Amino acid sequence: MPGGCLTDSRLKLPISTVTATQPTRNVVFPPGVLISMFNASILALVLQCGTTAAAAIIIVFTPTVGFGCRSLGYTIYAGISIVILLLTIISTISARISETRSEHSTVVKSFTASIAIALRRTCLLLACINAVGLIVLSCFQFTHFLDNCYCNASVIGRGTDSHLIIIYEGWTSTMRTAWISATTLAAASMAIYMIYLWLISALPTEIDRL
């Protein structure tokens, strides 16, 4: 009997050793993470584009109607924000690839890690530039710095057809429609985003079960 016990223990040791040393598959993202990233990215775009487009619509349809200095500033702000979001997603994917690669894939780990770090620094720089630009644009708008013939005539959008309306009659309904539509768009974008956050916090996700 003692000999049998010794034989069993010796037989179990190689089995457990082989099981522990079996190669495992490197999973970059756990189940459900990519879906959560996709949903969060889409909702961020809805919030960003919805509110920025609302501000641009109000300015574009305020006489003189057309694409001008103020709407151009908001458009640049929205464009840079979208670029930051895309670069952040790529940086996150690169960082996860670097973390989940085996120790033998040193070239892949170092390359993806370098890309992730470079993109994060680029996003930080663009975010600072975007924030400063939005503050400067707001200061220009509140101090009436943009109340000049070039900006008020919407030269950027109308080109040679640009003109300046001093007294406008009949534009009241158009302005009111544009303002109501833009306000509704901004409020709807914020409501969709807040409802999404509430649903995510209330319902358990696949990540919480890991």
pLDDT in tens, 132-187: 999 999 899 888 888 888 888 888 888 888 887 765 666 677 778 888 888 898 89
Please report the pLDDT score of residue 102 as a whole number.
65
| Residues 38, 72: Cα–Cα separation, whole Å | 29
What are the pLDDT digits (tens) for 5-61? Answer: 444 444 444 444 444 444 444 567 777 788 888 888 888 888 888 989 898 888 888
Residue 75's nearest CA partner among 149, 150, 157 is 157
Residue type, 78: A
Packing angle, helices 33-60 and 172-202, rounded to 10: 160
Is the predicted pLDDT of residue 98 greater than 50, yes or no?
Answer: yes
- Check: CB of residue 96 under 8 Å from CB of residue 114: no
Please report the pLDDT score of residue 200 as a whole number.
78
**How wide is the angle at C-alpha 27 spanned by C-alphas 200 and 20, nearest 5°?**
125
